[in-house]
Amino acid sequence: MESLFNIFIRAIFIDNMIFAYFLGMCSYLAVSKKVKTAIGLGAAVTFVLSITVPLNWLVYNYFLKAGAMSWTGITALATVDLSFIGLIIYISVIAAFVQLIEMIIEKFSPALYAALGIFLPLIAVNCSILGGVLFMVGRPYSLGDATAFGLGSGVGWFLAVVALAAIREKLKYSNVPAPLRGLGITFIIVGLMSFGFLSFMGFSI
């Protein structure tokens, strides 16, 4: 149990998707102008990450890994290694899942759809989702670990995007040199925030 909590906390603070790996930067920069939209996309990313990482864990461990299909009992399949087509499978799982969620939310909760709807299609091509899946494949996680990791990464992304949006809202009132306005100053702020997150580096639970 302690190790699950450890993975969760590590994913939020130490291996933060944004500040340690810079994953999902495109949408991170695009939606961080207002806190409200940032919360919307952050929630959507957290949700999708915490479902697709365990989902892809199942796909990897029961279909793609070398010898993963031995559970079928067919000897011809027992030694098959499909991990080289992993990428195309993971991205299809993510895209299909996002599409499915979009349809379900639209049907059952129009209010939630109005809040999250426009962000969902963006998520299929958000690097942090595929990045989370690829990190998970590279590490010896169990299903529980993978879930904790996915959830933690999502929460970390959420924190990062909301924090940046809050800073950018205040930034509107400051006098930034003209060519640095917008993208330039945002990058420098992200760099400084990343320094802040470095201070979590040393601690262990």
Partner 1 sequence: MSTTGEEKKSAPAQPLFGKKERQLLSDPLDNNNPITVQVLGICSALAVTVQMEPAFYMSMGVIFVTMMSNLLISIMRNVIPSRVRIIVQLAVVSTFVIIVDQVLKAYAYEMSKQLSVFVGLIVTNCIIMGRLEAFAMANKPWPSLLDGIGNGLGYGAILMVVAFFRELIGSGSVYGYKVFDALGINYIGNGVMVIPAGAAIVIGLVIWAQRARNGMVESE
Q: Are 93 and 56 in contact (CB under 8 A)?
A: yes
Measured from the CB atom, the residue of 75 and 102 that comes closer to partner 1 is 102
Quote the least distance from Cβ 5 to partner 1, whole Å. Answer: 25
Measured from the CB atom, the residue of 114 and 181 that comes closer to partner 1 is 181
Distance between CA atoms of residues 61 and 68, nearest Å = 6
Measured from the CB atom, the residue of 96 and 112 that comes closer to partner 1 is 96
Distance between CA atoms of residues 4 and 150, nearest Å = 11
Quote the least distance from Cβ 153 to partner 1, whole Å. Answer: 13
Q: Where are the alpha helices (DSSP H) in 25-78?
A: 25-31, 35-59
The distance from CA 47 to its chain's CA centroid, rounded to whole angstroms, is: 9
Quote the least distance from Cβ 163 to partner 1, whole Å. Answer: 14
Quote the least distance from Cβ 31 to partner 1, whole Å. Answer: 12
List the Cα angle 43/44/47 in 5-degree steps. 85
Distance between CA atoms of residues 189 and 28, nearest Å = 13
Handedness of CA 41, 61, 135, 156 (dihedral sign): positive
Measured from the CB atom, the residue of 75 and 174 that comes closer to partner 1 is 174
Residues at the site binding partner 1, with contacts judged by CB under 8 A: 19-26, 29-30, 33, 84-88, 91-92, 95, 121, 124-127, 129-131, 134-135, 138, 172, 177-188, 190-192, 194-195, 198
Measured from the CB atom, the residue of 111 and 178 that comes closer to partner 1 is 178
Quote the least distance from Cβ 137 to partner 1, whole Å. Answer: 9
Quote the least distance from Cβ 111 to partner 1, whole Å. Answer: 25
Distance between CA atoms of residues 179 and 38, nearest Å = 25
Q: Are 114 and 96 in contact (CB under 8 A)?
A: no
Measured from the CB atom, the residue of 167 and 185 that comes closer to partner 1 is 185
Q: Are 7 and 151 in contact (CB under 8 A)?
A: no
